[in-house]
């Protein structure tokens, strides 16, 4: 393999120069390939769709984690659905207030191969005593568990194949049931420029369960098409409006060092361009 062509969007693709293929095999659930590139470092793709690169993973993982945790404040229990590479787990456990991080991953192979080929992404998070790794179907887990969480983070693939069930009305309803009072759900929601239907569908489906739902954004170079939408659902309508001073206080108290996230970026991320607002119908 000299090049890897990702064809996620109709009529458009991106191509990566491949310097070395490290692993390529069809697991129980999906086709998984890990390869090296001169620009993005090491890359993992599932079913021919890029999931993570070592060059820019910090943008996605910081924004999907620190925004809900610092907006909520006093977070002790986090549930991560998906996220087999361990990046979300890594960022969550940087918050000393978190006593338990439950991670539910469908495909054990993603965890094992990430530990072998992409260890810097999890950076020891799987060995943290606060980690509870569950290899199971995330949909079934939230439907059946009696545990409750301050924050639920859905680090899923796109709504194609195994990830499709994580974008349903029933799944969002079950996530709502699993949250403590005043808890928040955040989700991966694609690139609105290309995946507008995904934004609209999530807005409508999540709105059936949450008093306040919508999106905030981050720019991840790998996920081409401009801003990436991150879904937001909570019954606390003021949580998205936490002022920068309070966010700064929580950020400093957590002693975080970040490469993308800042309290100012956090606040600004909820200011959506009109074309995304127009999709929220």
CB 102 within 8 A of CB 147: yes
Distance CA 152, CA 91 (A): 14
Question: How many CB atoms neighbour CB 85 within 10 A?
Answer: 25
Integer CA distances (angstroms), 153 to 215, 216, 256, in order:
14, 14, 19
Contact 51, 8 (CB under 8 A): no
User: Using an 8 Å Cβ cutoff, are 189 and 202 in contact?
Assistant: yes
Q: Contact 105/82 with Cβ under 8 angstroms?
A: yes
Q: How far is CA 206 from the centre of its chain?
A: 16
Report the distance separating Cα 209 and Cα 241, nearest Å: 20
Distance between CA 97 and CA 117 in Å, rounded? 30
The answer to whether 155 is a known catalytic residue is yes
Residues 155/188, Cβ–Cβ less than 8 Å: yes
Which of 150, 155, 158, 174 is catalytic? The answer is: 155
Q: Is 102 helix (H, G, I), strand (E, B) or coil?
A: strand
- Locate all alpha helices (DSSP H) within 76-223, ordered by sequence: 87-92, 108-117, 119-122, 138-144, 169-178, 196-206
Catalytic residues: 155
């Amino acid at each position: 393999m000299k090049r890897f062509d990702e064809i996620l969007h109709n009529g458009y693709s991106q191509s990566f120069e491949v310097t070395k293929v490290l692993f390529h095999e069809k697991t129980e659930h999906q086709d998984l390939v890990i390869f090296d590139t001169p620009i993005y470092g090491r890359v993992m793709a599932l079913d021919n769709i890029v999931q993570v690169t070592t060059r820019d993973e910090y943008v996605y993982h910081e924004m999907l984690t620190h925004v809900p945790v610092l907006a909520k404040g006093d977070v002790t229990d986090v549930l991560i659905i998906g996220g087999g590479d361990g990046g979300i787990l890594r960022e969550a456990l940087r918050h000393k207030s978190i006593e338990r991080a439950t991670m539910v991953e469908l495909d054990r192979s993603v965890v094992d191969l990430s530990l072998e080929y992409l260890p810097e992404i999890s950076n020891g998070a799987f060995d943290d005593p606060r980690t509870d790794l569950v290899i199971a179907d995330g949909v079934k887990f939230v439907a059946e568990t009696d545990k409750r969480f301050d924050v639920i983070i859905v680090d899923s693939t796109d709504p194609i194949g195994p990830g499709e069930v994580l974008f349903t009305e029933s799944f969002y309803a079950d996530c709502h049931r699993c949250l403590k009072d005043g808890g928040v759900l955040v989700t991966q929601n694609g690139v609105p420029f290309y995946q507008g239907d995904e934004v609209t569908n999530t807005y409508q489906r999540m709105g059936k369960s949450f008093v306040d739902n919508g999106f905030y954004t981050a720019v991840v170079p790998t996920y081409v098409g401009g801003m990436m939408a991150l879904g937001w659902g909570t019954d606390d309508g003021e949580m998205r409006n936490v002022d920068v001073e309070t966010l700064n206080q929580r950020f400093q108290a957590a002693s975080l060092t970040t490469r993308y996230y800042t309290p100012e970026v956090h606040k600004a991320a909820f200011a959506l361009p009109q074309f995304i607002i127009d999709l929220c119908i």
